[in-house]
Structure formats: C-alpha cells, structure tokens
Amino acid sequence: MAKVIMIGNQKGGVGKTMVSHELSALFVRRGNKVLGIDTDGQRDFSRYSDISFAKRIPTIRDILLEIKDIKTQSAFGNEHTSESDYDDFEDETDEDIIDKAIQNTKEGYDIIIASKKLANASADFGEPNDIYLLQDLIMSLSDDYDYIIIDCAPARSPLLYMSYVASDYCICIAESDEGSREGVRQTYTDIALLKEKNTAKVVMLGTLLNKYKDANVQVEQYQALCDLGVTTNAMPFDTAIPLGVAAIEANNKHMCVYEYMKSGNREAKKKSKSLIDQFEKLADEIETRIAGFEKSNADDANLQN
C-alpha cells in the first residue's frame, strides 16, 4: 500500500512543487516506486518533470471526470455525460485512461499531469460526492507504488479537498512570512473540519521551512513554526531547506537538483550540495515520522483486538 503524501499550503510560491519534485526523485533514488499527481492548473509539477503535454495524454482532470461519469452511470443508469478533453479522442474504459495517463519521468517517478482547465474545477467537481474522486483513483493505484505525492495548488479548490480525503499525510511548506503561517493554520482548520465529519483521515506530518536565507534568522523563523505547531499538530521538521541558486537553475533546466549536480561543472556541484544534503535529511525525518504514525496505528489496532 502506498503512503500518500500531499504537499500543501494555500500560500503561493512557497516551494510546494519544488519539494514534490525533489522528494519524488529522492524516494526513487532510495529504491521506491513513486507516483506524482499534479493537481494544480498551473501544471508546474508536470513542467518540472519535463514530460509530454500531448493532447492525447489524459490529465488528472480527464481521469476524475471519467471516474465521476462511471459512478454516475452506475448509480442512475445515465448516459455518458463526461466533458473530459480526452473524450474527444477515445472511447476508453476507466483502466485504459489511467494507464494512458501515467508517464515516466527521467528522474524515474511516474506522473499524472494536470490540465489548465483545473482553474475551473469548481464547475466540474462541485457536487458533494466529488470529494471522493481522487481517493477512488488512488485506491486503484495504491498497490503499485510505495509513495504517491500530490502537489497542491495555492487555492482552496475542490482538488485540495479531494487531496485531504485521498491522503494519509500532509506536509505544509512555509516560508518565513506570516502569510505562510496563515496557510498552515487554514490547512489545519480544513483538516480538522473534515475529520470531525469522518470524511478524511489525513494527518499533519509537519511543516517544512523553505528558502531560509540566514542561519540566525532561521532560528527565529523555526521558533515561530514551533509555536504554530502547538496549535496545528504540525511541528516543523528539524531540517529546513535554504534558499539556493541550484534550486532555481535546476528548475530552469527541468531537472531535480541531484541531476543538475551530476550534469554540471564544479560550481554547480558546490551550489547543489547543501540542498541535496538537506533533502536527504528531510526524507529521513519523513520516513521516521511516518514509521512512528504507522506503529501507533498498529498498536491501537492491536489494543482493539
């Protein structure tokens, strides 16, 4: 069963996509099978991974519309009603569309790309039961992967709520500003409301301080996230990711920082090293925290038996 991790924060530009891409690539280097899902109409995760946007390749929107269509048909015996772009090309079954959507990146992880039309997701996925569509998809793929990483948009869209329902863990990315912290608070509130209704089981795995510039200032920023963690159940990871030119240069070249380091000259190697080291430490922390949650869940289950 895959561990499903959503990378969130409604605050824009904090590094959600960079972290989704780097973690996906890193988990692959550690021997895992990883699927990335881009749920943002900006399609940055898809772009970072440098894969095809060919019209014949179904997007996450196409798949979710297809699943919705199939569920509606089986519930009401209705005719095919989906308005997926992919319908223009093929008359495929659910499984075919998923197989055709999954592309392999040069970093070795699989990805399902986003559609620009997700900007209009409220119109496509505005019905109460639509909140389960991404979970349906992920359940059908869960045995094929060790990790599924969902890159979220900087918006409280239907896809964000679907991600809460479909995920086991949420990592919030934060910069040092109050806007980032407000985004963490909002994420916590959203999750708490869904849990109250038993709609989601996702747990806050932690916040990640990204793009810190100065080691002294980092101490204060880290403390602010610790204070926030008390009320949001999301303690910051000990590891923080510095602002690094290598992250920008790797992004411009559609590479992960590790590939950028390998492909570059001595200067590129020097610039990449601290980012790569920090991501290794972050992945260790993520694995440890997940193992802790899994153990306490197993203990709870044993107690009940």
Ligand X SMILES: Nc1ncnc2c1ncn2[C@@H]1O[C@H](COP(=O)(O)OP(=O)(O)OP(=O)(O)O)[C@@H](O)[C@H]1O
Enumerate binding residues for Mg ion (CB under 5 A).
16-17, 44
Residues 91-120 interacting with ligand X (rule: CB under 6 A)? none
Residue 41 interacts with which of Mg ion, ligand X, none, CB < 5 to 8 Å by class: none
CB of 9 to ligand X, least distance (A): 7
Residue 45 beta carbon to ligand X: minimum distance, rounded to whole angstroms: 8
- Within 2-41, the residues that bind ligand X by CB under 6 A are 12-18, 40
In degrees rounded to 5, what are phi and psi of residue 287? Answer: -60, -40
Quote the CA–CA distance of 186 and 180 in Å, as a whole number: 10
Among 59, 163, 251, 272, binds ligand X (CB under 6 A): 251
Between CA 206 and CA 299 the distance in angstroms is: 22
Q: Quickly tell me which residue has 């203990």 as its tokens.
A: 299
Nearest distance from C-beta of residue 226 to ligand X, angstroms: 20
Pairing between β-strand 103-104 and β-strand 169-174 as defined by DSSP bridges? unpaired
Report what 66 binds from ligand X, Mg ion, none; CB cut-off 5-8 Å by kind.
Answer: none
For residue 13, the minimal CB distance to Mg ion (Å) is 8
Whichever of 14 and 67 has its CB closer to Mg ion, that residue is 14
Select 97 or 209, whichever has its Cβ closest to Mg ion: 209
Q: Smallest gap, in angstroms, from Cβ of residue 214 to ligand X? A: 13
Query: Cα(233)–Cα(239) distance, rounded to whole angstroms?
Result: 17
Selection from Mg ion, ligand X, none that 13 binds (CB < 5 to 8 A by kind) is ligand X
Distance, CA of 143 to CA of 49 (rounded, Å): 23
Number of residues in contact with ligand X under rule CB under 6 A = 19
Torsion on CA atoms 284, 266, 241, 167, rounded to nearest 10: -50
Taking residues 158 to 197 in sequence order and writing x for each that binds ligand X by CB under 6 A, - otherwise, the string is ----------------------------------------
Enumerate residues 6+ apart whose C-beta is below 8 A from 138: 2, 4, 37, 148, 166
CB neighbours (10 Å) of residue 151? 28
Residue 268 makes contact with ligand X by CB under 6 A: no
Name the residue number minimizing CB distance to Mg ion: 17
CA-angle at 6, arms to 193 and 94, nearest 5° = 100
Among ligand X, Mg ion, none, partner that 12 touches (CB below 5 to 8 angstroms by kind): ligand X
Question: Rounded to the nearest 5 degrees, what angle is found at the Cα of 258, between the Cα atoms of 36 and 247?
Answer: 80
Can you give the C-alpha Rg of the chain in angstroms? 19
Q: Which is nearer to ligand X, 86 or 164 (CB)?
A: 164
Residues 220-249 within binding reach of ligand X (CB under 6 A): 241, 243-244, 247-248
The phi and psi torsions of 104 (rounded to 5 degrees) equal -100, 130
SS3 258: helix
**The two structure tokens encoding residue 212:** 């810190």
CB of 44 to Mg ion, least distance (A): 4
Interface ranges with ligand X (CB under 6 A): 12-18, 40, 42, 44, 154, 210-211, 241, 243-244, 247-248, 251
